[in-house]
Structure 1
Amino acid sequence: MQPRKTDLARTALQAHRAPLDMRQRRLLILCDGQRSIAELTALLGQDAAAMVIQLIQAGYLVTGADAAVSTQPAPSVAAATLAPSAAAASAAPVERRRSLVAARIYVLGILEMQRHPNAAALFRDLQQARAEGEVLRVMQSALQVLPALTSEGYCQRVRQRLMEALPVEHCGAFAAIA
């Protein structure tokens, strides 16, 4: 089975407003109709197959057998936005891999996209930071500076994605930054 994106998935990836978490977005990006479930599992971990099923049920993915059906209109947007939440609630909680390195790389990418001297300085500081405490301090500074550089909605999405990537023991230090 080689899942592929539907029009709903393409719209969700472009809009950045769909109720998808970071791993679901990553999975949607990788589902190009060329990769099998085994390849996706190797890339994303053991819960990839369960996420594929959830995204198929939500209307974001179709399989080879469903591809002919995908030319029909997609389900309504209201049903599509409710389905991922219901699927996530019914699924067993999955412990996601979290790491300070992944969080650091994510923040570096966000800072690199900003065209501002403050962001460039924070980018350099975060690149050069070696100690765990120093990395955390620079990432906190970046989250505090980001609202002055971008929109509030974008800042909220960055915070949410960062909280998904950070190890649980460090989330408390970032929760107060809002």
Structure 2
Amino acid sequence: MSNLTLADVLRKTSAGRREQQQRSQALSARQRHVLILCDGQRAIGELCALMGQEVQQLARELLAAGYVERVGLANAPEPVEAPLKRTSNASVQASSASEPSPSSVAASQLAQAVAPPPRRSIALSRMYMFDMLERLLGAQSGPARAHLRAADQPEAVLAALQECLVLIAEIAGSVQADKVRQQLCDMLPEDYRQGFAGQELVTS
């Protein structure tokens, strides 16, 4: 199997969709989170920006197991063909000497070239909370998940996210709740993130 690049875009296979729905416990929590985010639109580089560099290895594992498949590469500008012109051998040699070979380009430079900026969205934050409720609360997450699923406006989703954090703090502890809050602040759009980060957890 060839290595995945940061520009590769993955989507779930039928096996991946079944695993997401049935939760057979075949995947770790991090693998499942990556599986959820493989929607056929985001490049590996974008997922790395959201979850860290381990995403690339987790995605390889999902690809090898048949849960995801490649659908192409992230959009890049089409090359512009330059008109052909005759050059002397001396000019060609001088040009070759001045240009770096592909092997001399640092891997970090290549990663920066293909990695898209991180995407913030309420939908992504909501999806993350669904996963954390299942992971941290298990069977006790049912009412909170139903409330979050019913929220259909940004303000309602934010209120539901806050209530989910309160429930996590009550059952799993404030340390876990703060970790989830910090991750949400990295996912929410800036306008919503500021108000959300400023709220305090009020547990009964």
Q: 1:154 to 1:21 in 2, by over 3 A?
A: farther
In structure 1, list runs of 5 or more residues that go unmatched.
5-12, 15-19, 47-52, 55-90
CA contact (8 A) 1:21 1:161 kept: no
Rounded to whole Å, the distance in 1 between the matches of 2:167 and 2:54 is 26
In structure 2, list runs of 5 or more residues that go unmatched.
6-29, 32-48, 65-69, 77-106
Residue 73 of structure 2 aligns to a residue whose secondary structure is helix
Aligned to 1:42: 73
Q: How many residues align?
A: 119
Where do 4+ consecutive residues of structure 1 move more than 6 Å? Answer: 91-94
Among all aligned residue pairs of Structure 1 and Structure 2, give the percentage whose two residues are the same amino acid. Answer: 21
Q: Please point out which of 147, 157, 165 is paired with 1:135.
A: 157
Report the aligned-residue RMSD. 3.8
Residue 103 of structure 1 aligns to a residue whose secondary structure is helix
Q: TM-score under structure 1 normalisation?
A: 0.51
Q: Please point out which of 176, 180, 199 is paired with 1:158.
A: 180
Which has more strand, going by share of residues? 2
Q: Which amino acid aligns with 1:96?
A: P
Rounded to whole Å, the distance in 1 between the matches of 2:171 and 2:71 is 36
Q: 1:99 to 1:115 in 2, by over 3 A?
A: same
Alignment of 1:71-110 (within 5 A): 95-110=117-132
Rounded to whole Å, the distance in 2 between the matches of 1:152 and 1:42 is 40
Q: TM-score under structure 2 normalisation?
A: 0.45
Q: CA deviation at 1:24?
A: 2.6
Residue 53 of structure 2 aligns to a residue whose secondary structure is helix
Q: Once the two structures are superposed, what CA deviation does each residue of 1:121-167 show, in whole Å capped at 9, x if it has no partner?
A: 11101111112211111011111221111144432331222122211
CA contact (8 A) 2:4 2:56 kept: no
Rounded to whole Å, the distance in 2 between the matches of 1:28 and 1:153 is 28
Q: CA deviation at 1:98?
A: 1.2
Rounded to whole Å, the distance in 2 between the matches of 1:115 and 1:124 is 13
CA contact (8 A) 1:143 1:177 kept: no
Rounded to whole Å, the distance in 2 between the matches of 1:21 and 1:95 is 9
Rounded to whole Å, the distance in 1 between the matches of 2:50 and 2:156 is 27
Q: Once the two structures are superposed, what CA deviation does each residue of 1:67-105 show, in whole Å capped at 9, x if it has no partner?
A: xxxxxxxxxxxxxxxxxxxxxxxx799731111111111
Q: Please point out which of 115, 118, 121 is paired with 2:138.
A: 115
Rounded to whole Å, the distance in 1 between the matches of 2:71 and 2:58 is 11
Q: CA deviation at 1:108?
A: 1.2
Rounded to whole Å, the distance in 2 between the matches of 1:169 and 1:106 is 19
CA contact (8 A) 2:50 2:187 kept: no
CA contact (8 A) 2:169 2:177 kept: yes
Q: Which amino acid aligns with 1:42?
A: L
Aligned to 2:3: 2
Larger radius of gyration: 2
Q: CA deviation at 1:41?
A: 8.1
Between stretches 138-147 and 20-29, larger displacement belongs to 20-29
Q: 1:177 to 1:105 in 2, by over 3 A?
A: same
